[in-house]
Amino acid sequence: MKKKTHFFGWLTLIFLLTIFFMNFFSPDIKFSKEENRTMAQKPKMDAQGVWNGSYGSNYDAYMEDQFWNRSFWKRMKTKFEKTIGLKKIDNIYFGNDGRLIEEAVIPSEEFMKRRVENLKKFDTDYSKLNVQFLLIPNKIGIYYDEVGSKNLQEELYQKFTSNFREDLFKINPFEILKEHKKEKIFYDTDHHYTTLAARYLSESFYDKKDVTYEEYTVNDHFVGTSANKIAYYEHADTVSLYVPKEEISYYVTYDGEEKEYTTIYDDQKQYSNNPYEIFFGGNHGKIEIQTNAEKENKLLLIKDSYANSFLPFILSEYREIIVIDPRYYYENIDEVIKDKQITDILLLYNMNTFFEDTSFDDMVENIKE
């Protein structure tokens, strides 16, 4: 009996020492392709950080992100927690049929007050233009019943939109997406909606359901951010494109560069870790699109990544489209509106990003009177 105890004691010691030395000698990872995010780096120690506790917090985050063979241990942890019946890991619920559902972001009263004030200011400042807002629910706003919750996102949507003129929100995306909830309108493993959902919303928003599209499969083994966040790799998603049979001509420039592109699709992203980036190659601070559309309208699209798969469906609606992502664009957009003689403004966000990220407020507060 003692020999067995000694054996397992030595085995445990060897295991712990192995983990220690592997952690000590393994190089730090700057960016995780699996999780699609920058990893915490070793913080510098100073008296102030030690005193206020920030050094300890930052060091804990560093150790968690840089733990040796992190992805393997995360997979083991997730399998164990799901096996014992947990319905939620971190902020992600296990829905039906392999659907991973991120919980709804509920903003503080302080956040809401600032956001309402800034959106009202923006709408007033550009009241002579056609300003519209498409605020899109996340998976939790459509499949809330799968996690045993009431629809917190729809309640938030109604509360928020009641502060503004009724025609600012031209369509109700909840109603449209609920009609198609049995179809693949969200990726199971990712936080984005699918190209099909973007198509349905664009058809309703622009009242054009007579367009014929050809569907192309881009990637059938897409594992998105939700799955990577908790290391849950039971199945993959398919990314598709819907290309109108009657296409218009256009060219695209990115972030003020002179080089022009004749497609909005980046083929190099097709088999990357994130094939959703096939649309425009991912997010950019500023994108300019010139088309040969018959309409003379010029659109300023202020957006997050949900707009990337929405844009291909609206190219024929405008002669020119300027796309601004406030998370990466820091200049005064009033200059863009005046210089480009913008006629229409569309704000397009998913709800979780809109009620968590503060870049919209920073953008509006940066507009000079």
Whether 84 is in a domain gets the answer no
Instruction: Give dist(CA 250, CA 277) in Å, integer.
Output: 19
Total domain count, the chain: 2
My answer on whether 201 and 59 are in the same domain is no
My answer on whether 113 and 228 are in the same domain is yes
- Give residue for tokens 């730090």: 28
Positive or negative torsion for Cα 112, 114, 115, 121: positive
> What pLDDT shows up at residue 48?
65
Task: Of 342, 335, 341, give the one whose Cα is nearest residue 367.
Answer: 335
52 burial level (CB within 10 Å; 0-12, 13-18, 19+): exposed
Residues 6+ apart with CB under 8 A from 98: 188, 189, 234, 235
Which amino acid is residue 52, in one-letter code? N
My answer on whether 172 and 250 are in the same domain is yes
Which amino acid is residue 165, in one-letter code? R
> What pLDDT shows up at residue 149?
86
Please say whether the beta carbons of 269 and 294 come within 8 A.
Answer: no
pLDDT over 90 (residue 340): yes
* Mean pLDDT along residues 282-289: 95
Three-state DSSP class for residue 138: coil
Confidence category of residue 84, pLDDT binned at 50, 70, 90: confident
Ranges 63-72, 237-246, 288-297: which has the least confidence: 63-72
pLDDT over 80 (residue 150): yes
My answer on whether 156 and 218 are in the same domain is yes
Please say whether the beta carbons of 290 and 268 come within 8 A.
Answer: no
* Mean pLDDT along residues 39-54: 67
Check residues 2 and 176 and name the one with the higher pLDDT. Answer: 176
My answer on whether 252 and 358 are in the same domain is yes
Beta strands in 52-182 (DSSP E): 88-89, 92-94, 100-102, 130-136
Residues 6+ apart with CB under 8 A from 38: 30, 31, 32
Please say whether the beta carbons of 333 and 367 come within 8 A.
Answer: yes
Beta bridge partners of 80: none
Confidence category of residue 307, pLDDT binned at 50, 70, 90: very high
- Give residue for tokens 């507060």: 365
- Give residue for tokens 């302080």: 110
Exposure of 269 in the CB half-sphere (CA atoms within 13 A):
15
Q: What percent of the chain has pLDDT over 70?
A: 78
Measured distance between the N- and C-terminal CA atoms of the chain, rounded to whole angstroms: 82
Check residues 265 and 43 and name the one with the higher pLDDT. Answer: 265
My answer on whether 6 and 146 are in the same domain is no
Over residues 322-333, the pLDDT tens digits come to 999 999 999 999
My answer on whether 126 and 36 are in the same domain is no
DSSP assignment letter at 268: G
Whether 91 is in a domain gets the answer no
Final residue in a domain of this structure, among 19, 47, 68: 68
> What pLDDT shows up at residue 111?
98
Confidence category of residue 13, pLDDT binned at 50, 70, 90: low
Task: Of 122, 32, 105, 95, give the one whose Cα is nearest residue 69.
Answer: 32
My answer on whether 64 and 104 are in the same domain is no
Ranges 68-72, 153-157, 271-275, 365-369: which has the least confidence: 68-72
Confidence category of residue 43, pLDDT binned at 50, 70, 90: low
Three-state DSSP class for residue 133: strand
Over residues 175-223, the pLDDT tens digits come to 999 999 999 999 999 999 999 999 999 999 999 888 899 999 999 999 9
Instruction: Report how far apart, in Å, the C-alpha atoms of 160 and of each of 30, 163, 193, 196, 202 are.
Output: 38, 6, 22, 26, 22
Instruction: Give dist(CA 295, CA 299) in Å, integer.
Output: 11
My answer on whether 260 and 339 are in the same domain is yes
> What pLDDT shows up at residue 87?
86
Check residues 8 and 212 and name the one with the higher pLDDT. Answer: 212
My answer on whether 64 and 105 are in the same domain is no
The values of phi and psi at residue 278, to 5°, are -60, -25
Instruction: Give dist(CA 346, CA 55) in Å, integer.
Output: 42
Ranges 3-12, 28-37, 278-287: which has the least confidence: 3-12
Range of the domain at 49: 2-68
pLDDT over 70 (residue 67): no
> What pLDDT shows up at residue 367?
87
* Mean pLDDT along residues 287-297: 94
Please say whether the beta carbons of 80 and 89 come within 8 A.
Answer: no
Check residues 216 and 38 and name the one with the higher pLDDT. Answer: 216
> What pLDDT shows up at residue 256?
84
My answer on whether 112 and 62 are in the same domain is no
Q: Which two tokens stand for residue 38?
A: 């920058």
pTM of the prediction? 0.84
Instruction: Give dist(CA 306, CA 323) in Å, integer.
Output: 12
Positive or negative torsion for Cα 328, 331, 332, 333: negative
Whether 80 is in a domain gets the answer no
Instruction: Give dist(CA 83, CA 79) in Å, integer.
Output: 6
Beta bridge partners of 344: 130, 299
* Mean pLDDT along residues 241-252: 90
pLDDT over 80 (residue 278): yes
pLDDT over 60 (residue 20): no
Whether 259 is in a domain gets the answer yes
Three-state DSSP class for residue 143: coil
Beta bridge partners of 213: 244
Over residues 101-149, the pLDDT tens digits come to 999 999 999 999 999 999 999 999 999 999 999 999 999 999 999 998 8
